A and B are shown apart, each in its own frame.
Chain A
Amino acid sequence: MSVTQLESAEIQLEAPSGLWSDAWRRLVRNPAAIIGFVLVALFILTALFAELIAPYDPREQNLALLQGSCCPGPSAEHWFGVDDLGRDQFSRVVYGARFSLLIGVVAVTVGVTFGLLLGATSGFFGGKIDTLIMRLMDIMLAIPGLLLAIGIAAMLGPGLLSIMIAIGVVNIPIFARLLRGSVLGQKGNDFVLAARAVGVPRRTILVSHILPNSISPVIVAATLALATAIIDAAGLGFLGLGPQDPSTPEWGTMLTGTVRYLQTAPHLAIIPGLAIVVSVLGFNLIGDGLREALDPKLRGRA
């Protein structure tokens, strides 16, 4: 091993660890963030163990329950009532958590991954690459988010996968811009200059010096993007771009036909809607807590 390599290895060892433990300490002392964690844990557990929690098959129709009227409200057998095809609303909401979680996680992963790649490349290399990537991002941002998502989902054909891709793509320019700005901000820092001075390769500087320091706004944005992704997914489902099989218990899709029953069976709209609000609120509370915890201006305060 050459001296430069040794030295660069040493420099990489000094990763900032104080920020994270410090942030964690502040996060767990924030009551709002704790509520957020509880809500999100509830949401994830429901999604994971839907089979065990749901008393009925979410797709099983039981028209006998309707008896000519739509639709029986909450009862001992059906906690959240039944929908217009006699399906158990509670089981549908429980299974719906699975779809919302899946869509949210995949969509945000797509957005963060590509946004990270594009933003880091753009910010680190600058010049023509930067101009090209950022103009492309500008074009994407020139279309209102939901319209872009509708467009992509329509192009791919309705379905869960297209919703995930559509929302993910909408997130790409947001993360690309965020990361580019962050990388540009880090580029001029003394520790980057020092790493360059001792001959650390450019890629290593990007991966082990700049990215770890640029990542905290990305984590905050990703948590908040999860919340938005769940809302957008429900919005696309509501507009009829959801899963191809309309019996799929996706929260947004469940809300689609409920306008007709607002007078007779408002629970059909309220319950899936509340499920969305609760899970989105959870991610928003965590995201907010994270933002405060990671804010360098607030460091050191309890």
Chain B
Amino acid sequence: MLRFVVRRLLLLVPILLGLSILVFLWVRALPGDPAAALLGERATEASIEQVREQYGLDRPVYVQYFAYLRLVIVDRNLGTSIESRRPITEEISRRFPATIELAVASLIFAIVLGIPLGFFAAKRYGGVFDNASLVGSLLGISIPIFFLALILKWIFAVELGLFPTIGRQSVEINVDHPTNFYVLDAVIALDPVAFADAIWHLVLPAIALGSIPLAIIARITRAAVLDVQNEDYVRTARAKGLASSIVDRRHIFRNAMLPVVTIIGLQTGLLLSGAILTETVFAIPGMGSWLAEAIEARDYPVLQGGILFVAIVFVLVNLVVDVTYALVDPRVRLS
């Protein structure tokens, strides 16, 4: 196990080096450049040159790359945003929690609803509930996240006024943000109003972002339960007279959860992708909307640092998923 983890972590090094080179070349291949984008249309040649010099953009690309590597590895620094002039690490520490909070909330929504839905659909295989859940889950993966977000916003925020339309917290809320996870911050501050407010802002975006994982989790759970139900050990358990609720819980549910755990892990990329769109619709200042804006502004340091950071998180989450899988399933040997 330990050897597997260490090897996977070592494998991260070439992947990240390759990725950093690709991202580095990619930002420089974007049409336009950050100096021109920063200074606007009326900038003079001289002032553009000056900004380029200030950020070292006039040097050869490979010199820039090694300077960047040095900065990241030796100084543990991701640079400064050209647009906002704030350190990238500081921006990430503010924005990353927003995205993670949203992703976790959507995943909780998807798991809490998806697993029982799939389980009961399988228990009533072929029945009305089963067919309805099949149609529902197919519809779930067919609705673009941003369209669902727009519709939810229209019905529940604009028309009914039940939920806030944008942002992460109401203006009148005043709590410190030591972690920038607003829900957590409210707990730390022991402020129930702020807590409810933070949750309230999460509901609609989490449902929009969680819709596809919900559909996928429900489908996989259903398929897994159907598979396990016909196993010999389930028949044995029933034959020896165990109560059906115990067979459901101990024999079927536990074994059916294996593929579900994997599929939950595989949602990370989807959640990060979807967060870009959800954050746009609900004006949430997270990683997704930040990177999308950075592309617009040609903010090289933000793109380099931000994308590398997202990739590291993504790869680490996948590693955690693989390890969890091995822990849950004794049949899996990591090698």
A residues near B (Cβ < 8 Å) are 32, 135-136, 138-139, 141-147, 150-151, 154-155, 157, 227, 231, 234-235, 238-239, 252, 255, 258-259, 262-263, 266, 269-270, 273, 276-277, 280-281, 284-285, 288
Contact = CB atoms under 8 A, between A and B. Distances in A.
Contacts of A284: 138, 141-142
Contacts of A138: 15
Contact of B277 (A151, A235, A258, A259): A235
Given A142-B315, A239-B277, A263-B158, A154 B295 contact: yes
Contacts of B144: 231, 234-235, 238, 252, 273, 276-277, 280
Interface-central residue, B26, B153, B273, B315, by most chain A CB under 10 Å: B273
Given A252-B144, A262-B150, A280-B143, 10 more contacts: A143-B19, A147-B288, A147-B310, A150-B292, A150-B295, A151-B26, A157-B31, A255-B150, A269-B151, A276-B147
Given A135-B15, A262-B158, A273-B150, A150 B276 contact: yes
A155 B28 CA distance: 9
A242 to B, nearest CB: 13
Interface of B: 14-15, 18-19, 22, 26, 29-31, 138-139, 141-147, 150-151, 153-154, 158-159, 269-270, 272-274, 276-277, 280-281, 288, 291-292, 295, 307, 310-311, 314-315
25 contacts: A135-B18, A139-B18, A144-B310, A145-B270, A147-B272, A147-B276, A147-B307, A147-B310, A151-B26, A151-B307, A155-B29, A227-B141, A234-B146, A238-B144, A238-B146, A239-B277, A255-B150, A259-B281, A262-B153, A263-B158, A263-B159, A269-B147, A273-B150, A284-B138, A284-B141
Nearest to A149: B273
Contact of A146 (B138, B143, B276, B307): B276
Contacts of B276: 146-147, 150, 239
A81 B146 CA distance: 22
A107 B28 CA distance: 25
A259 B150 contact: yes
Contact of A135 (B14, B138, B153): B14
B306 to A, nearest CB: 9
A255 B145 CA distance: 12
Given A144-B269, A154-B295, A139 B19 contact: yes
Contacts of B139: 277, 281
Contacts of B288: 147
B173 to A, nearest CB: 24
B211 to A, nearest CB: 12
A258 B281 CA distance: 10
Nearest to B31: A157
A154 B310 CA distance: 18
Contacts of A259: 150, 153, 281
A239 B15 CA distance: 29
Contact of B154 (A157, A269, A276): A269
B321 to A, nearest CB: 14
Contacts of B295: 150-151, 154
B146 A139 contact: no
A116 to B, nearest CB: 22
Contacts of A231: 142, 144
Nearest to A283: B142
B26 A285 contact: no
A92 B323 CA distance: 50
Nearest to B315: A142
Nearest to A136: B18
A278 to B, nearest CB: 8
Interface-central residue, B146, B154, B314, by most chain A CB under 10 Å: B146
